[in-house]
Structure 1
Amino acid sequence: MTSAGAVGRLLDRWPPADRILVAGPDAARPAGELARPGRTVTAWPPAPGDPRADAAVCAGWRWTSGEAEHRRFLAEVRRRLRPGGTLILDQAAAGGDVDPLTGRGGTVRYYHPTELAGLVRAAGFRTEHVELTGAAPGAGPPGVLVAARALLAPPEALAVTGWGADAGEVRLDLRYADDETELLDPAPGKIWADVAAEADQVAGHYPVDDPFGGVRGAPVVSRFFGRPVPPGQLSFGAGVTSLLRDLAGLADGGPVVAPEHTHPDLQAWAAFAGSDVHVATAAALTARIRECRPALVLLDRPGFDAGVLALADVVRLAGVAAQTGAVVVVDESAAAYLGPAGSCATVAADTGNLVVLRGFTKAYSWGGLRAGYAICSPELAPRVRELITPMLIGEPALRAALGVLAAGDPLAALRRRVREVKPPFARKLAAGGFAVISGHPDIPWVTVADPDGAAGRALAARGIRGLLPAPAPVPAPPAPGRLHLTVPLSRRRIELFDTLFEGQDDPA
């Protein structure tokens, strides 16, 4: 077995490990050698109710079961570690002949270093260090020491988790808008009421002949975007969240690249299927794609800062990604504000590697409907259908979604209102000492600089809550830096904001 000194050296690379779990057939030796004042070293398995450990050491890796069981064991180890906790896995060199097809020497399964690193990644870790520790006497795998960090796991890694965090007394929540639908024509509520009026018939319909909604949806979606969308390139799901979960499989364990502060759900699911996730600034995105050669590139359009990447730039990035064989997924959850003509769905047929996601939570305020859809390039249609769960959207939700799309673009009055009230909202924030980025004039939010949290605290002191970007599932996610504030649209919300904001302390 590798010396405890080598294990200790790796542990010292990261934050202090005060609680260590030790597992494996040689657990007793490192448990004794790693002990020190103030440190708790516990043999696996931990007792129920024990706090999460800072590190786990799997000593003398000699397992006689199969790979699936090994992966499950490592995943259970990860669940017993704090996010970012350290895993040190020590596999001794093969002691005799090893079957090259099965990796077994007798009853023991030995892994080559790359296999072991992949197994660790598939269990929810990011591999950060691999070193050889001894040669096998035959042709079997050498001894290897792997160090990895535990990724933040779903659901904690997903964007929805932060919405339940307590923020004290909040009188005006600017993470979202509850006053958008008052400006839509037709009102989404009217369309939903029409569907509900036929609830008995609708709820009883089981459309196994159209499990993705593409057959019935294609004519409506084609008219909406003014471009033909064949049924095979259109799939409906239970909101964009469910589609992101399924389409994470497009990475197929390969690297994922996304700009900073991109919605993290797809990245989190891909990471737990063995993908390495990389983030980049918008300016460095093209270079990062060429450097990492990803399997999947994820874009938010609009982005967290309310900026909207031009369609020509999306097509250009898709071309760069195509050089590495990568798929580009564009999350247009909030692009309804731009109208159908501004969607990447209008250029999906012009590329071979684009998937565009649209939903009804933003602008339509139909988050509870759980409806969303994906439009993909023709070449991607078979891959997308391999991954998306059939029958994922309920029949009432599908009919309501198609009803609102069939109505055309009901957001003209909303866009006029946003353009009317967004500039004075931004000016008021700027006059209060906040550094404001307004972004696209049709997107109903702004962001303010918040590098140290002072802006958020200053607003919270007046009962106003903003939205921080959800962290990417990487070991050292970019600092939030900015705070998202939805523009109040209705007179009641504007007056409430003015009342609360008046007399606000300087955010600096």
Structure 2
Amino acid sequence: MRPGDIDRWLTGERILLAAGDAAGWTTALTRPGRTISVWPPEAEAPQSDAAVCADWRWRGDEAAHRRFLAEIRRRLRPSGMLVIEQAGATAGFDPLTGRAGPVRFYHPTELATLVGGAGFRVAHVELTSTAEGPAPPGVLIVARALVAPPDSLAVTGWGEESADTRLDLRYADDEAELLDPPPAAVWAGLAASADEVAGHYPVDDPFGSLRGAPVVSRYLGRTVAPAQLYFGAGVTSLLRDLAGLADGGPVLAPAHTHPDLQAWAAFRGAEIEIAAGPATVAGLTAEIRRVRPALVHLDRPAFDASILGLADLVRLAGTAAEAGAAVVVDESAAAYLGPAGSAATVVGEAGNLIVLRGFTKAYSWGGLRAGFAVCSPAIAVRVRELVTPMLIGELALLAALRVLAAGDPLAALRRRVRTVKPRFVERLTTAGLAVEPGHPDIPWVVVADADGAAGRTLAGRGIRGLLPAPAPVPSPPAPGRLHLTVPLSARRIELFDTLFDTVREDVSP
């Protein structure tokens, strides 16, 4: 292959080179302003902009090749380019082993899969030679390094501090006081027996399913068998495990869906498809039929506080089933709807639904790290294979079960949201902001913020909103939106009014 065929894909100044003829390829790829380092790089070397494996020969086994590619990715900046040029198989190729002597030759699709599984997104594949019989032809593969977890996860962006923030409307710290019973009282009742509880090693109930099923069944008003129920260390841990449902196949998610599942699936080699357009039933149905995903991931409520109806969800799950896809519904913020509003009540009406619930939203128990999954009976075996056992601590499990056993403690919170949310929407609208109020029971709204002006104006007054976490892969353009949690308590409403009084003059047309 000519050096120019590789050079056209290279960007940036720092190039990492792996080649049998390192000296020759260094000379061929040298350009003004470009620095080329030969593999392996120095331990303290800065990350490279691109890596080249030229005229590459794969020695050793496939596991070693995966480790090699993963180490190259770690040496690249995020979105750095990888260019691999593998020559066609030489004489003596054995189709049973994929080798010619000690060298492994991959067919183009095999090599693309290997690269994708090492944390790259394959962007281009082309043949560089032909081959006779079963021998692989020469191939050039171009891929971009994905941002690795945890940097690709939502929590990384959320953890960034802002010293000028006086009112953080990304979250709510005034919800728990409206719950009956308050979570603090539940925890206090459990704390007295903390030593005894912490000493229990639940090998007889590693998923919390046996103890949890009767409680969750009463909470939902539906029978949930132990085989359908899995507790974990918050919804985040369950999303990581359930990314395995893609099993390398495509994952489909609407724009602004919580990105963690997609990030982990992409890092395992799955293709990620972000649905363009609004997340309507008609739109998602069309996207499922187009993509034919292995896994569909939905947020309920969505980022814009809209709610997909239960009947619509069941129909959508049926469409996904026709494509052979599982459907994961993240209901981290669905507690506001009450038990009857949960998609967990309809898992028995489909064979491919997994619904995740947590205790951060409404309960304000983000530090508890408790969450659970309720799945359709037909998919329970697959879920059991993926969820990590013994993932939730005993104190967290018992606290979660006690608060669920209390039934629906959010009635007063819902009344408060319905009382103060309309005024909040009116204030934002009067100031010239375009507001999407969403479902009346969901305590947040989104405002249009295509160019970031609304967010900057609010930040200048000490009010911080929540931007949607970016998808882990390039995705179609989506409307710019800013999430603002509704202040519920008198102190937060008063602080919002004080800070917001000067906003109108900056955002009005």
Asked if TM exceeds 0.5, the reply is: yes
State the alpha-carbon separation in 2 of the partners of residues 481 and 41 from structure 1.
40
AA aligned to 1:169 is D
Q: How far does residue 460 in structure 1 lie from its aligned partner after superposition?
A: 0.5
CA distance in 2, matches of 1:138, 1:198: 71
Aligned residues: percent identity? Answer: 71
SS at match of 2:59: coil
| Structure 2 counterpart of 1:23, from 8, 18, 43 | 18
What per-residue deviation string (whole Å, max 9, x for no partner) do you get for residues 256-281 of structure 1? Answer: 00000000000011111110000013
Question: For 2:41 and 2:59, how far apart are their aligned partners in 1?
Answer: 22
Which amino acid is 1:412 matched to? A
Indicate which of 220, 227, 250 corresponds to 2:222. 227
Q: Over residues 22-49 of structure 1, what are the superposed CA-to-partner deviations in whole Å (9 max), with x where a residue is unaligned?
A: 1131333332222222222222223333
Are the equivalent residues in 1 in contact too, given 2:273–2:475 (CA < 8 A)?
Answer: no
1:69 aligns with 2:64: yes
Bigger shift: residues 47-56 or 450-459: 47-56
1:57 & 1:477 partners in 2: Cα distance?
A: 29
1:274 equivalent in alignment to 2:273: no
Give RMSD over aligned pairs: 1.3
Match for 1:451: what amino acid? A
Give the Cα separation in 2 of the matches to 1:166 and 1:3: 49
2:37 paired residue among 26, 34, 42: 42
The aligned length equals 503
Query: How much has 1:137 moved relative to structure 2?
Result: 6.1
> Which residue is equivalent to 1:506?
506
1:475 positional shift: 2.8
Structure 2: runs of 5 or more not aligned: none
Secondary structure at the counterpart of residue 362 of structure 1: coil
* Letter of the 1:259 counterpart: P
Q: What is the CA deviation profile of residues 232-271 of structure 1, one whole-angstrom value per residue up to 9, with x for unaligned ones? A: 0001000000000101111111000000000000001111
**Counterparts of 1:58 and 1:167, CA distance in 2:** 42
| 8 Å contact kept, 1:95–1:136 | no
Shift in Å at residue 87 of structure 1? Answer: 0.8
1:218 aligns with 2:217: no
Range moving further from structure 2, 425-434 or 24-33:
24-33
Instruction: Please give the per-residue CA displacement for 1:336-365, whole angstroms capped at 9, x wherever unaligned.
Output: 000000111010011000000000000000
Q: Matched residues in 1 for 2:483 and 2:249: separation?
A: 31
User: Structure 1 residue 115 and structure 2 residue 110: aligned?
Assistant: yes
Residue of structure 2 aligned with 1:100, choices 78, 95, 102: 95
Q: Residues 94 and 137 of structure 1 are in contact (CA less than 8 Å); yes or no, is this contact kept in structure 2?
A: no
SS at match of 1:70: helix
Partner of 2:465: 466
Taking the aligned partners of 2:148 and 2:111, their CA distance within structure 1 comes to: 20
Counterparts of 2:155 and 2:210 in 1: how far apart (Å)? 31
Greater shift in the superposed pair: 55-64 or 396-405: 55-64
State the shift of 1:64 in Å.
1.2
CA apart distance, 1:136: 4.0
Per-residue deviation at 1:138?
A: 6.1
How far did 1:215 drift?
0.6
Instruction: Specify the SS of the correspondent of 1:10.
Output: coil
Unaligned runs of 5+ in 1: none
For 2:286 and 2:269, the matched residues in 1 are separated by 23
Q: Residues of 2 paired with 1:151 and 1:29: CA distance?
A: 30
CA distance in 1, matches of 2:441, 2:343: 16
Q: Determine the structure 2 residue equivalent to 1:293.
A: 292
Give the whole-Å Cα distance in 1 for the aligned partners of 2:25 and 2:453: 45
| Cα deviation code 1:46-104 (max 9, x no counterpart) | 33333322211111110211111111111111111122111110001111122212211
Q: SS of the residue aligned with 1:208?
A: coil
| Residues 230 and 139 of structure 1: CA distance in aligned 2, closer, same or farther (over 3 Å) | closer
What is the deviation of 1:477? 6.3
Q: Distance in 2 between matches of 1:84 and 1:189?
A: 45
1:353-409 residue CA offsets vs partner (Å, 9 max, x unmatched): 000000000000001111000000001111000000111111111111000000000
Question: Matches of 1:138 and 1:481 in 2, distance apart?
Answer: 52
- Summarize deviations over 1:464-497 as a string: whole Å, max 9, x none: 1010011111134645610001000000000001
Q: Which runs of 4+ in 1 moved over 6 A?
A: none
What is the letter of the counterpart of residue 491 of structure 1? A
* Stretch of structure 1 that moved more, 471-480 or 231-240: 471-480
Q: Which TM-score applies when normalising by structure 1?
A: 0.97
Q: Normalising by the residue count of structure 2, what TM-score does the alignment of the two structures yield?
A: 0.97
